[in-house]
Amino acid sequence: MSTKEEFIFRRAEIADIKAVREMIQELADFERYSNGPELSEEDLIRDAGLTGQQELCHIYVLIDNATQQAIGYAICFNSYSTWQGRAYFLEDLYVRPAHRKRGAGARIFREVAAIAFKLNCKRLEFHVLCWNPAREFYERLGASNLTAIEDAWQYYRVDQQQLAKLAGELA
Catalytic positions: 138
Contacts of 84 (CB under 8 A, 6+ apart): 122, 123
Which candidate, 126, 109, 143, places its Cα nearest to that of 9? 109
Query: What is the greatest pairwise CA distance in the chain?
Result: 57
30 C-beta neighbours (distance < 10 Å), count: 14
- The C-alpha atoms of residue 66 and residue 41 are separated, in whole angstroms, by 26
Type of residue at 142: G
**Whether 91 contacts 41, CB under 8 Å:** no
Task: Report the residue count for the chain.
Answer: 171
Contacts of 115 (CB under 8 A, 6+ apart): 58, 76, 88
